[in-house]
A and B are shown apart, each in its own frame.
Chain A
Amino acid sequence: MDWLNALIQGTLLGGLYALFAAGLSLIFGVMRLVNIAHGDLIVLAAYLGLVVTSAIGVHPILAMALVVPAMTLIGYALQRGLLNQTLGDDLLPPLLVTFGLSVILQNGLLEGFSADPQKLSAPGLETASVALGSISLGVLPLLTFGIAVAVIWGLQWTFYKTSLGRAFRAVSDNQDIAQLMGLNKRHIFGLAMALALAVTAVAGILLGLRTSFDPSSGGGRLIFGFEAVIIGGLGNLWGTLAGGVILGVAQTIGAKIDPGWQVLSGHIAFLVILAIRPQGLFPRMSG
């Protein structure tokens, strides 16, 4: 029963990792950009949640109503103001600029909030649980997983059923021709980053509710998100959710063997999948 419990907790944890990954996946899909600062932006969102909850005393979940639009605006501004200038055939500028951004964000947060770990508190929600036979499921992990499924469904719908998604795919296919059709790729990229950071905002708040965070937490979140993307297969959002679940399960099972092994066993699961199936478990079908 303990193992089944670990499996279920890991699956629910995977929802959070899928949320870390979804923004990364979206950005890569639309503009082939790998954002090294992605994890730090998740942590930034958690801090914004902290500021909102302590300033106006609302529940962290409600704080999303402010943090999501804020991160959306930050995303658009960041893309138009900085990241668009790095895009081109050369790999180095986007990597190094987002790396620089990561260092700036981390130290900016350190300057503003100190290195002390923080947590978003939601007294009722953190401890609430429902019993399923002998297994007790936390309401927060359940809620997180539900939100992850909803977000991924929403992204999938946006991508394949709306004119914005059509524009995303067109720009991703061929930037020049998309531009000829009247799509301003700089604006489209801005919108893609805005959407990615909206998802990041949700991820950041849920992260802050689940565990404590500090300015240096970003790197780890980037890696978890990245591992979920690669495990699931590039370009497949449902695959990303599956990748997050696999990573989460590997971590909870590792932690069950030895608490020190939690994160390490997640990395090992990732490396094993990379060794035996480098294209990921569910790569996007071609054509």
Chain B
Amino acid sequence: MNLSDYSVTRTSQSARVAAVLGAIGLIVLIAAPWWAGRADMRLMSELFLYLALASLWNLMAGYAGLVSVGQQAYVGFGGYMLFALTIFGGLHPIAAIVVAGLLGALIAIPAAVLIFRLRGAYFAIGTWVVAEVFRLSFAQVSALGGGSGSSLPVGIVKSLASGRSARESLSYWLALGSAVLVIASVYFFLRSRRGLALTAIRDNELAAGSLGIDIWRTKFAVYVVTAALTSLAGALIFLQKLRISPDAAFSVNDWTAFVIFIVVIGGIGTIEGPIIGTLIFFLLRETLADLGTIYLMVLGVVAIVVMLKAPKGVWGLIRARFDLQLFPLGYRVVRPTSKKDT
């Protein structure tokens, strides 16, 4: 058998099937306002927003090696910007969401300059300090309700679209759109030169450094872009909630702990992992939420067990068994099937 019989390809049968099924699934989801009930749409919106947050956290921790326990900084920041820009800036909510994302990137730059001075695990706690600074600062802004927070005025909510069901559909589509935007961004970023560099860093920082890749700048860019998209998701989250307060906006449990559990359980360092993890998380939540604190303890135990026993998560287990890759990132060598291996 000749070497030339082998071919190198990025795609695979399973990826093509996944693309087709994904497209059909997306159409079904877009059509949800015509087939799903109000409560289901709310739940799905929340699911999409968690999926967006989880995919972003996974990009940082799973690919760039930046473990943050402070992403609530940008969720809350995005939420507050939505309120501030619509209430005081007079912006249309959708414009405010976009601007919130841009401002998120802008404020992430000085934050990154500071916390990138901290190495490894101390970086993680540094991100938490930033989130705390944001929380305490917004609690000082009395125009936004100070420590007790404020609600989005009815007029602004109504300006989103006329009629309650139109507003609910739009808000659902925005959540779905943000998840699609985030996953597509992550996917195309990881296929780009910079993305490949990032994967190289993760796999071997020394080797990647010697290849002349500017590690610091790539990580910096990932941090800032992630902050922008997290702020955007945060704005959407609080557009759904219609009420914001510092404790809710900058909650480490809601916006970081759950997100970490989703990614760890689903499979860190894969695009598929956060998707599976989000589905598992919501499934568990809908069935076990009555248990309250016990549910959270179970989640913590499951995450620890997964981290120790199956560090690639549920998706890693699936992939080890079936050799699946739904988002074709790597190249693979395909052995010709016509001839027999000698």
Q: Do chains A and B touch in the complex (CB under 8 A)?
A: yes
A interface residues (Cβ-Cβ under 8 A, vs B): 32-34, 36, 82, 85-86, 91-97, 99-104, 106-108, 110-111, 219-220, 222-223, 226-227, 230, 260-261, 263-264, 267-268, 270-271, 274-275, 278
- Chain A proximity mask over B271-283: 1 for CB below 8 Å, otherwise 0: 0000000000000
Please tell me if B328 contacts chain A, counting CB pairs below 8 Å: no
Q: How far is the CB of A217 from chain B (nearest CB, A)?
A: 13
Contact present for B120 and A96 (CB under 8 Å): no
Bound-state Cα–Cα, A97 to B121, Å = 12
Q: A34-B125, A96-B260, A103-B300 are in contact. Are A260 and B308 (CB under 8 A)?
A: no
B interface residues (Cβ-Cβ under 8 A, vs A): 61, 65, 67, 69, 114-115, 117-118, 120-122, 124-126, 128-129, 132-133, 136-137, 139-140, 252-253, 257, 260-261, 264, 268, 293-294, 296-297, 299-301, 303-304, 307-308, 311
Contact present for B297 and A99 (CB under 8 Å): no
Contact present for A92 and B124 (CB under 8 Å): no
Contact present for A267 and B136 (CB under 8 Å): yes
Residue of B nearest to A215 (CB): B293
Q: A92-B61, A96-B264 are in contact. Are A263 and B125 (CB under 8 A)?
A: no
Bound-state Cα–Cα, A124 to B49, Å = 53
Q: How far is the CB of A109 from chain B (nearest CB, A)?
A: 9
Contact present for A34 and B124 (CB under 8 Å): yes
Contact present for B67 and A92 (CB under 8 Å): yes
Q: How far is the CB of A261 from chain B (nearest CB, A)?
A: 8
- Sample 22 A-B pairs with CB under 8 A, ordered by A number: A34-B121, A34-B124, A82-B304, A91-B120, A92-B61, A95-B121, A96-B260, A96-B307, A100-B301, A101-B300, A101-B304, A103-B300, A104-B296, A104-B297, A104-B304, A107-B296, A111-B294, A219-B252, A226-B122, A260-B140, A264-B133, A274-B114
Residue in A34, A91, A96, A103 whose CB lies within 8 Å of B299: A103
Residue of A nearest to B258 (CB): A103
Bound-state Cα–Cα, A220 to B247, Å = 13
Contact present for A103 and B129 (CB under 8 Å): no
Contact present for B299 and A99 (CB under 8 Å): no
Q: Which residues of B are found within 8 Å of A264, using beta-carbon distances?
A: 133, 136-137, 140
Q: Which residues of B are found within 8 Å of A94, using beta-carbon distances?
A: 121
Q: How far is the CB of A95 from chain B (nearest CB, A)?
A: 5
Contact present for A36 and B294 (CB under 8 Å): no
Interface of B is mostly: helix
Q: Which residues of A are found within 8 Å of B128, using beta-carbon distances?
A: 219, 222-223
Q: Which residues of A are found within 8 Å of B294, using beta-carbon distances?
A: 107, 111
Q: Which residues of B are found within 8 Å of A275, using beta-carbon distances?
A: 114
Residue of A nearest to B128 (CB): A223
Q: Which residues of B are found within 8 Å of A102, using beta-carbon distances?
A: 300
Contact present for B67 and A107 (CB under 8 Å): no
Q: Which residues of B are found within 8 Å of A85, using beta-carbon distances?
A: 308
Contact present for B67 and A103 (CB under 8 Å): no
Residue of A nearest to B253 (CB): A103
Q: Which residues of B are found within 8 Å of A99, using beta-carbon distances?
A: 69, 257, 260
- 3 nearest CB pairs, A to B: A34-B121, A278-B117, A104-B300
Contact present for A93 and B307 (CB under 8 Å): yes
Contact present for B300 and A91 (CB under 8 Å): no
Contact present for A93 and B124 (CB under 8 Å): no
Q: Which residues of A are found within 8 Å of B122, using beta-carbon distances?
A: 34, 226, 230
Contact present for A107 and B301 (CB under 8 Å): no
Q: Which residues of B are found within 8 Å of A96, using beta-carbon distances?
A: 67, 260, 264, 303-304, 307
Q: A34-B124, A93-B307, A274-B114 are in contact. Are A111 and B297 (CB under 8 A)?
A: yes
Residue of B nearest to A103 (CB): B300
Q: A91-B121, A96-B260, A223-B132 are in contact. List 7 more A-B contacts (CB 8 A).
A: A32-B121, A93-B307, A95-B69, A103-B257, A219-B128, A219-B252, A223-B128
Bound-state Cα–Cα, A99 to B128, Å = 12
Bound-state Cα–Cα, A36 to B132, Å = 15
Bound-state Cα–Cα, A101 to B301, Å = 8
Bound-state Cα–Cα, A97 to B268, Å = 14
Q: Which residues of B are found within 8 Å of A110, using beta-carbon distances?
A: 293
Contact present for B125 and A100 (CB under 8 Å): no
Contact present for A36 and B114 (CB under 8 Å): no
Residue in B65, B117, B125, B303 whose CB lies within 8 Å of A91: B65
